[in-house]
Amino acid sequence: MHPLINRDNSCCFSGYRPEKLPWGTDEEDLRCQALKDMLIGASERIYLSGIRHFICGMARGSDTYFCEAVLVLRANYRDISLEAAIPCEEQAAKWAPNDRMRYNGLVEMCDYVTYVSRVYTKNCMHRRNRYMINNSSVLLAVFDGKHGGTNYTMKYAKRCGLEIIEIAPLAFSP
């Protein structure tokens, strides 16, 4: 990582995969479009507060939307850097071909790629989440209380004293 990137000027992201989002994989759904717009707006406010480095876990769903939102901002704010924090090399190996192609394209556009583990292990996702929290001062999360990885990440971020910005996927209507 670049020496000017540090915990104080970094934001990480956590959120739901399509299976936990009310619209599933239908990105044409107006609620999905609204979430994508909210992620761009929230990321820009975080940038304007002084954050310059964004870390994404690169999962399907909300992570993908966040990564794309940061890339939109980077077109206007050249000092933004984006890091893909990948739990293991084969993260996308079993995904549908379109998801895999999208993922690979996004990883290529990131400034930094960090593999938490070379191979899949039962805890590599948690290790990825801890890596992101340990290297950030802000967590942006798509979260509405559901049990799972985002809930775990939120609790860990609270224990670590991060500023937490939540977006509930049902908090808006089309």
Tens of pLDDT, residue by residue over 132-148, are 999 999 999 999 988 89
Rounded alpha-carbon distances, angstroms, from residue 31 to 24, 37, 122, 173: 11, 10, 33, 6
State the pLDDT at residue 75: 96
The CATH number given to 24-167 is 3.40.50.450
State the pLDDT at residue 2: 57
DSSP state of 71: H
pTM to 2 decimal places: 0.94
C-beta of residue 12 within 8 angstroms of C-beta of residue 156 = no
Domain edges within the chain:
24-167
* % of the chain with per-residue pLDDT over 90: 90
Q: In what order do the strands lie in the sheet with 163-167?
A: 112-115, 81-86, 53-56, 10-14, 138-142, 163-167
State the pLDDT at residue 169: 78
